Amino acid sequence: MNYCLLSIKRTNVTVQYTDSLIKHLIKLYGHKEVDEKEADAFLFSICDVTEIHDLVKASNIAKKYGKPLIAGGQFCYHFKTVLLIADIVNIGHIFDFMECKSIEEIKNLDCVYYPGKDKIITPSYRIDWSKIPIIHTNKKGYYYWGGTGCKNKCRFCYVSWTNAHIINPKARKLTSFRKGMTLTIISNEYSDKASEKNTCIRVKDMMLVDYLRKEEKVKNIRVGIEFFTEASRKYMGKQISEKEILSAIDKSKKDGNSLKFFFISGYNTKQEIIDFIKFLPDDTESKRKIRLVFNNLEYQMFTPLHKERKKMNPENYIDVNWVNEVYNKYILAKKYYIRTVPASNPAHAFCRMGMSWSFTKEQLDFWMDKDREVNRTPLRDLDYNKYYEYLWTSKVIENEYFANEIKMPWKVLND
Ligand code: SF4
């Protein structure tokens, strides 16, 4: 097949990796990467809902040349939304797709869907690790795909509920890499078994319990704490105790690690966030910084949390101003080691949900318009409550997937 890969806005390095990997596989499977005029089909990888604006641009190009636009990538489980723009969608991994030699063969795959196809979709979970290269993305950086899914399945986590937990065995065995170069393993494995001896890794995503287990030499450690009370963490599937959080802070000073703790706001009340910050120890000596990174919650489709979307409380969502106030009041004078990285305005989270929950052209056009409006409005002028209200008035809050439309190896969808 002659494919033209459309990459319109590629700033994120993981996305660059994905495009490079697709180009590599096009060749490896005996297809050709060609320019627009020679293409049998156009390919576009959509990893995140915000790339839907680029998908529209890709669709305009495909229409101009009269050839189908085929979308793949992590966002494609939302096939009803993607098919409002693309002609064909591949759900899951790309290896079955790459083996096809014609559009007809592609259309016959169980993981492929197009308007009018009358069959339950079964996402493709097959990965041929022997075909995955280490890819040079910038001057000193290399990226390597280490796995999909996660050994946990937190209630809110789209990645873990849409992917099987599969490990690249070669990434685990990697013990060294080119001198002076950094290697990032892309995975959610969160295990120190993955590449534990590889000294080129500078940033490591870990489960807190793994971090506490033994001395950690990698300087930058990223840990998802996610919620602000023990009870909410337990409910969401991240059973992290307050005692473990305090132990991790102590350990980071001993081991010389810079910690980034990731949090999801929007579920706990603002008072619970303040109580958590007050609970962190006072310390005006330590030079080792801990960054608290906040993101606002999305009730994502395909996760158990999506079933609770109608209980979402916009009062719990936080913005930069609120985080700065909390920083000045509870952190600045007493906890020198803490820095905060605020969540973007809640309107962004509501637009992301609005776009990814859209099942009709009218809904999607409305939400893309709202997303553009939010992106061009100064933060101080954004009234985010009205975007929450739109989730109801546009009726996207009613939309859901059913098990008779898409078959996952685990039960999350409504029967
Ligand atoms: S540990 Fe992280 S990646 Fe794994 S399921 Fe939970 S949130 Fe998702």
Q: For the chain, 415 residues long, give each residue's pLDDT as a single digit of tens.
A: 999 999 866 566 677 788 889 999 999 999 999 999 999 999 999 999 999 999 999 999 999 999 999 999 999 999 999 999 999 999 999 999 999 999 999 999 999 999 999 999 999 999 999 999 888 877 667 888 888 998 889 999 999 999 999 888 887 666 656 666 677 777 765 554 544 555 556 677 888 988 999 888 888 899 999 999 999 999 999 999 999 999 999 999 898 899 999 999 999 999 999 999 999 999 988 877 899 999 999 999 999 999 999 999 999 999 999 999 999 999 999 998 899 998 889 999 999 999 999 999 999 999 999 999 999 998 878 999 999 999 999 999 999 999 999 999 899 998 7
Distance 409 CA to ligand 1 centre (A): 18
Residue 189 Cα, ligand 1 centroid: separation in angstroms? 9
Task: Please state the atom number of ligand 1 nearest to the C-alpha of residue 156.
Answer: 7
Residue 264 CA to ligand 1 centre (angstroms): 12
| Amino acid in position 181 | M
Q: Where in the chain is the domain with CATH 3.40.50?
A: 2-113
Closest ligand 1 atom to Cα of 159: 8
Atom number of ligand 1 nearest to Cα 188: 3
pLDDT at 134: 87
pLDDT at position 10 is: 58
Mutating to test ligand 1, I would choose from 188, 226, 236 the residue with most ligand atoms within 8 A of its C-beta, which is 188
How many angstroms separate the alpha carbon of residue 81 from the centre of ligand 1?
Answer: 24
Q: State residue 107's pLDDT score.
A: 98
pLDDT the model gives residue 176: 59
> Residue 377 Cα, ligand 1 centroid: separation in angstroms?
32
User: 64 CA to middle of ligand 1, Å?
Assistant: 41
Distance (angstroms) between ligand 1 centre and the Cα of 150 equals: 6
211 near 225, Cβ under 8 Å? no
**224 CA → ligand 1 middle, Å:** 8
Give residue 191 CA to ligand 1 midpoint distance, Å: 12
* Residue minimizing CA distance to atom 1 of ligand 1: 152
Instruction: Note the pLDDT of residue 140.
Output: 65
Q: How far from each other are the two terminal CA atoms of the chain, in whole angstroms?
A: 38
* Cα 198 → chain centroid: 25
Partnered with residue 265 across adjacent β-strands are: 296
Q: What is the pLDDT of residue 145?
A: 85
Cα 13 to ligand 1 centroid, rounded to whole Å: 21
Pocket probe for ligand 1: among 159, 225, 267, the residue whose CB has the most ligand atoms within 8 Å is 159
How far lies 348's CA from each of 82, 127, 296, in Å? 19, 33, 9
What is the separation of C-alpha 157 from the centre of its chain, rounded to a whole number of angstroms? 9
What CATH number is given for 2-113 in this structure?
3.40.50
What's the CA dihedral at 85, 366, 156, 15 to 10 degrees? 40
User: Given the CA of residue 157, which atom of ligand 1 is nearest to it?
Assistant: 8
Of 60, 41, 28, nearest in space to 105 by CA: 41
Pocket-testing residue among 148, 150, 205, ligand 1, by greatest number of atoms within 8 A of Cβ: 150
Tell me how far the alpha carbon of residue 35 lies from the centroid of ligand 1, in angstroms: 39
**Nearest atom in ligand 1 to 150's CA:** 4
DSSP run (H or E) holding 56: helix 52-65
In sequence order, the β-bridge partners of residue 261 are 223, 292
State the CB neighbour count (10 A cutoff) for residue 104.
8
Q: How many residues are present in the chain?
A: 415
Q: How many Å apart are CA 285 and CA 297, to the nearest integer?
A: 33
Long-range contacts of residues 26-29, Cβ cutoff 8 Å, at least 24 apart: 26/98, 28/98, 28/131, 29/98, 29/99
User: Which of 148, 151, 152, 295 to mutate to test ligand 1, by most ligand atoms within 8 A of the CB atom?
Assistant: 152
pLDDT score of 173: 67
Closest residue by Cα to atom 8, ligand 1, is: 157
H-run or E-run covering 252: helix 242-255
Please tell me the distance from the alpha carbon of residue 237 to that of residue 234, in angstroms, as a whole number: 5
Ligand 1-lining residues (CB < 6 angstroms): 150, 152-154, 157, 159-160, 188, 224
